[in-house]
């Protein structure tokens, strides 16, 4: 396929904005990028898709999300409002995950995938939990992902908070899913080894996870020092900071993705850098949970690869970029904090580096050899748009609502705002139908726990 007449923002090592540009796709990758006239002459037989002057960019990447949390939207939480992060987990997420059954896991994934296609987020790294249906839960997610056509890495969050059987079932699910993908690879799917967080996983369970992940040669996806409770727990139990404890246990490493890292100190930052552990920053979630603000600049200065995720907030990564741009300025009382080009470094360059842990070809860049994961935006800025000012054009001008067309691996998933792989209205209707049941189970669990 030959995409013609686009204004192409390439990103990558040598970022360019190509006016009246074209992109030639073959199979799931990009094979040529250049002026429309030139590529039309070179590929006269190719089927053409006219972008009609729209902006074409790489699809967004989300480095950390939770599809399973979808039914939290609009849900009432009984009792007094949570006073801190641990109470938010106890009163909301650790009850909602137990209310999920087969149908609600499937629909949680589907509604998030619809939202991702609409907002042009083409690669996501998901962290799943459903303690009452662990075995096969990642297959339910994977079926929805393959149907959607998006690119997603899955894992199951191991924790000791649901007893030893729950922990063991989580380990087995991670191993089962990773082995399944190794035996039957699908270019849209990938696996990592999910861990909830240090403060809900005892040392014996952690040792078993490390042994299994090592034998599978996969990395971990874990929440690190999201709230100060994680640090306090680690210091009380092990006399070590969370980062030190996880490093001693063999959890940190170049294939490991650690979400949040809000409360890490300089020594832990140095450990993250030394082990080449990847970090994902979720500014909207951090603000919502009132946990503090991730020391992103300190980590970047130390050489840590920090990307951007949404932690289950909307899959509009342009909104997450805006949040990152604003919150660090407000907290630092310094307008120089978190510059626009730092934001796009997180969202594109570093997220692409994180995605490269799971997929062999380049993602997040428009160049020959990269996956053909592209979005069209019907946005015509009223000031010049250049490779130099693109970060600020994105932050102040772009939004998920501008996305008209979403392409993953050369396949068109949405064209002119019409979804082609998922039946959006039917999925929403089914979700609305079962939501009261999920909420009722949630309420019963809440009442039982008082
Ligand atoms: Zn999370």
State in Å, rounded, how far the first CA of the chain is from the last one. 58
Describe the crossing of helices 317-332 and 390-397 by its angle, rounded to 10 degrees. 100
On whether the CB atoms of residues 37 and 84 are closer than 8 A, the answer is no
Pairwise CA distance, residues 399 & 392, whole Å = 12
CA of 6 to the centre of ligand 1 (A): 36
Pairwise CA distance, residues 376 & 399, whole Å = 12
CA of 24 to the centre of ligand 1 (A): 37
CA of 65 to the centre of ligand 1 (A): 6
CA of 307 to the centre of ligand 1 (A): 14
CA of 49 to the centre of ligand 1 (A): 38
CA of 135 to the centre of ligand 1 (A): 21
CA of 259 to the centre of ligand 1 (A): 7
CA of 224 to the centre of ligand 1 (A): 10
342 conformational bin, left if phi > 0, alpha if psi -120 to 50, beta if neither: alpha
CA of 378 to the centre of ligand 1 (A): 32
CA of 281 to the centre of ligand 1 (A): 10
For the chain, 450 residues long, give each residue's pLDDT as a single digit of tens.
999 999 999 999 999 999 999 999 999 999 999 999 999 999 999 999 999 999 999 999 999 999 999 999 999 999 999 999 999 999 999 999 999 999 999 999 999 999 999 999 999 999 999 999 999 999 999 999 999 999 999 999 999 999 999 999 999 999 999 999 999 999 999 999 999 999 999 999 999 999 999 999 999 999 999 999 999 999 999 999 999 999 999 999 999 999 999 999 999 999 999 999 999 999 999 999 999 999 999 999 999 999 999 999 999 999 999 999 999 999 999 999 999 999 999 999 999 999 999 999 999 999 999 999 999 999 999 999 999 999 999 999 999 999 999 999 999 999 999 999 999 999 999 999 999 999 999 999 999 987
Q: Does the predicted model carry a pTM greater than 0.95?
A: yes
CA of 416 to the centre of ligand 1 (A): 32
Q: Which residue is listed with tokens 């296609």? A: 117
CA of 449 to the centre of ligand 1 (A): 23
Pairwise CA distance, residues 160 & 137, whole Å = 18
On whether the CB atoms of residues 138 and 177 are closer than 8 A, the answer is yes
CA of 435 to the centre of ligand 1 (A): 22
CA of 64 to the centre of ligand 1 (A): 6
Give the list of residues 6+ apart from residue 183 with CB closer than 8 angstroms, or none: none
């Amino acid at each position: 396929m030959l995409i013609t007449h686009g204004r192409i923002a390439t990103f990558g090592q040598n970022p360019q904005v190509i006016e009246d540009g074209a992109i030639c796709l073959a199979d799931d990758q990009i094979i040529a990028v250049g002026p429309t006239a030139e590529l039309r002459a070179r590929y006269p037989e190719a089927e053409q898709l006219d972008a009609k002057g729209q902006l074409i960019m790489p699809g967004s990447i989300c480095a950390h999300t939770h599809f399973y949390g979808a039914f939290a939207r609009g849900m009432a939480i009984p009792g007094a409002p949570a006073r801190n992060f641990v109470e938010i987990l106890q009163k909301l997420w650790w009850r909602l995950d137990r209310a999920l059954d087969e149908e609600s896991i499937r629909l949680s994934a589907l509604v998030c995938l619809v939202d991702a296609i609409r907002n042009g987020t083409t690669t996501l790294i998901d962290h799943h939990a459903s303690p009452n249906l662990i075995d096969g839960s990642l297959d339910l997610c994977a079926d929805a992902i393959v149907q959607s056509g998006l690119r997603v890495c899955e894992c199951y969050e191991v924790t000791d908070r649901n007893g030893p059987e729950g922990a063991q079932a989580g380990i087995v699910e991670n191993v089962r899913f990773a082995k399944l993908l190794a035996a039957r690879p699908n270019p849209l799917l990938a696996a990592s080894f999910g861990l909830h967080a240090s403060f809900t996983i005892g040392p014996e369970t952690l040792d078993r996870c490390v042994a299994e992940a090592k034998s599978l040669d996969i990395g971990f996806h874990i929440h690190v020092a999201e709230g100060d409770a994680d640090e306090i727990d680690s210091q009380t139990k092990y006399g070590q900071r969370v980062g030190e404890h996880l490093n001693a246990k063999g959890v940190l490493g170049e294939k490991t993705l650690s979400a949040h890292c809000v409360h890490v100190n300089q020594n832990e930052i140095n450990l993250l850098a030394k082990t080449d552990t990847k970090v994902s920053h979720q500014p909207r979630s951090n603000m919502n949970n009132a946990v503090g603000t991730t020391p992103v600049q300190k980590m970047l200065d130390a050489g840590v690869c920090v990307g951007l995720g949404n932690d289950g907030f909307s899959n509009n990564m342009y909104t997450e970029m805006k949040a990152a741009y604003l919150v660090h300025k407000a907290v630092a009382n310094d307008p120089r904090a978190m510059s626009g080009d730092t934001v796009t470094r997180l969202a594109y360059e570093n997220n692409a580096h994180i995605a490269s842990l799971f997929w062999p070809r380049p993602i997040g860049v428009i160049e020959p050899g990269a996956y053909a994961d592209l979005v069209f935006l019907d946005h015509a800025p009223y000031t010049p748009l250049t490779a130099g000012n693109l970060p600020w054009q994105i932050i102040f001008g772009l939004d998920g609502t501008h996305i008209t067309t979403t392409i993953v691996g050369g396949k068109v998933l949405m064209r002119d705002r019409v979804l082609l792989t998922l039946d959006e209205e039917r999925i929403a209707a089914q979700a609305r139908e079962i939501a009261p049941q999920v909420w009722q189970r949630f309420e019963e669990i809440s009442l039982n726990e008082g």
